[in-house]
Amino acid sequence: MQAQRNGRRRILLLATAPVLLLITLIMWALASPVGSSPDDNFHLPSIWCGLGDRDGLCEAAPDAVDGARQVPASLITASCYAFAPEQSGDCWNPQDDEMHVVERLNTQRLYPPLFYAAMSVFAGPDVEASVMAMRIANSVLFVGFLTAVFCALPRRLRPPLVISALATIVPLGLFIIPSTNPTSWTLLSTATVWVTFLGGLQSTGRQRLVLFGLSAVATLLGAGARADAAAFAVFGVIVACVLGLRRRDRSLILTAAAALIVVVISIGFYLSSGQSGAVVSGLAPDQVPLTFAQHLKNLLEIPTLWVGALGGWGLGWLDTLMPGSVTVLATAVFFGVIAIGIHRLDGRKTTALVLAVGAAWGVPFVLLAQSNAVVGTQVQPRYILPLLVILIGVAVVGTDATRTWRGARLLVSGIALTAAMGLALHTNIRRYTTGVDDQALDPGERAEWWWTVAPSPLATLLIAVIAFAGVFVVLELALRSPARQSAVQAEESNTPSQAAGEASLGAAAP
């Protein structure tokens, strides 16, 4: 009876964590006005036209170039504060519903169409309400899908999923996931494709089918949003096979079929988007070719793009610069997790880790070389962040959550990430309520802009900090749960012949 009560207590604790993460993401969704995510002057018209022409939302443009459409003017003027950090969000007029001709949108299939079509379901005459619905929907999708993957995974693979998400989410992930930018789905896809495929390789029966199915769905979401996400999905399957494929696998045909599905989905969306051309020709191939010294400098400075995703670069239109404390705290956790995760390496994990580091270093280097660009231009940290998620996940594979991540390590990481998140959110809110030329402890003091219906800026900040800190508290309590300890002891005592193998793969815990 006591064991049942302890089990129910742990399940309740684990169910609380995704709710707290969702609350955090929704608070971040409130932290900036419409048009604040990168290139929203392209993405918002593309969303409004994602389901084709509709009266009052997306209409044919008379006497205009091919692919042009008429959309509400407020979609175009929403980014009036872009590249002007002293300008608050007050410059935008959400009531401007006159139709305006726009030529920059996805009618020419620069991006895959799935993300825009899905978000277009929420598009309506009220631009503010529509965008907020999209942001909340993407937050729910991210948390809901990760929760489904967590429940489906073998216990030993749950730590890589959770830790890779939390260790890379501050601050860029928290800004991008609840946004109208397709990178939101790319992050979701990359975080789950590799681990679900690896879980399928290490499972049997119905569980294997479910995990391979989730891997295919994750591929569909990512490849349907950005062409590079299709490439990341294939790379994730390769990493999973390095880690988990066995010669004596009795279901090699099923594994091959699952991998083929991922590859076919990825290739289909990749080839259907003009964005894929950047992999061959670069982002701006007409620039003056780089010298050998510039190539060498790029090679040595690639890690600044990694740090850029952890607060080293600005959010939004790259104009919301983060305090140095955000970068230091988030980067310390990132590399600390890697250092702890690689304390025990075998051949497979070493190979996968080399592949992950090589991709995180090599992909931006090649893209810069093809674009004739130097670090700091063209290639942005949000293009690289999905690869960092895989890198952290691979580093964590094989660690025992109960012995490795609980206690002081989890406490210190939670405090550091929560502090970094709070500072980043305060900076982001203040940038849009008044502009960066007016600082105050209360991000809503002397506010020139805020949502019509929403908690105050200060309440938004406090709710997010409490919720995000609560995620780490819940994880620690779950790891200390008597039911969890009993499960570990029972698993070790009942399977002595597998004790060493299970220790290398990691035990059950989020």
> Which amino acid type is present at position 89?
G
* DSSP per-residue codes, 159-208: HHHHHHHHTT-TTHHHHHTTSSSTHHHHHHHHHHHHHHHHHHHT--HHHH
Q: Among 67-71, 182-186, 354-358, whose mean pLDDT is lowest? A: 67-71
Q: Kindly state whether residue 105 falls inside one of the protein's structural domains.
A: no
CA distance 357 to 395: 10
Report the domain count for the chain: 1
CA distance 317 to 465: 24
In the predicted structure, residue 482 carries a pLDDT above the cut 60: no
> Which amino acid type is present at position 44?
L
In the predicted structure, residue 22 carries a pLDDT above the cut 70: yes
Nearest in space to 37 (alpha carbons), one of 82, 6, 2: 82
- Compute the Cα dihedral for 240, 277, 361, 187 and give only its sign: negative
Cβ within 8 Å of residue 233, ≥6 positions away: 189, 190, 193, 218, 219, 222, 223, 262, 265, 266
Q: What is the mean pLDDT of residues 434-451?
A: 96
Q: Helix (H, G, I), strand (E, B), or coil: what is residue 106?
A: helix
Q: Kindly state whether residue 167 falls inside one of the protein's structural domains.
A: yes
pLDDT tens digit string along 374-416? 999 999 999 999 999 999 999 999 988 778 888 999 999 999 9
Q: Kindly state whether residue 407 falls inside one of the protein's structural domains.
A: yes
Question: Residue 301: which domain range?
Answer: 2-38+114-505
What is the overall mean pLDDT for the chain?
Answer: 90
- pLDDT reported for residue 265: 98
Q: Kindly state whether residue 192 falls inside one of the protein's structural domains.
A: yes
Q: Kindly state whether residue 54 falls inside one of the protein's structural domains.
A: no
- pLDDT reported for residue 344: 82
Q: Kindly state whether residue 46 falls inside one of the protein's structural domains.
A: no
In the predicted structure, residue 498 carries a pLDDT above the cut 50: no
Q: What is the mean pLDDT of residues 87-95?
A: 92
- pLDDT reported for residue 67: 86
- pLDDT reported for residue 491: 43
Q: What is the mean pLDDT of residues 100-108?
A: 92
Q: Kindly state whether residue 473 falls inside one of the protein's structural domains.
A: yes
Q: Kindly state whether residue 106 falls inside one of the protein's structural domains.
A: no
In the predicted structure, residue 456 carries a pLDDT above the cut 60: yes
pLDDT over 90 for what percent of the chain? 79
pLDDT band of residue 277 (cuts 50, 70, 90) is: low
Which strands form 59-60's sheet, in the order they lie side by side? Answer: 59-60, 69-72, 99-102
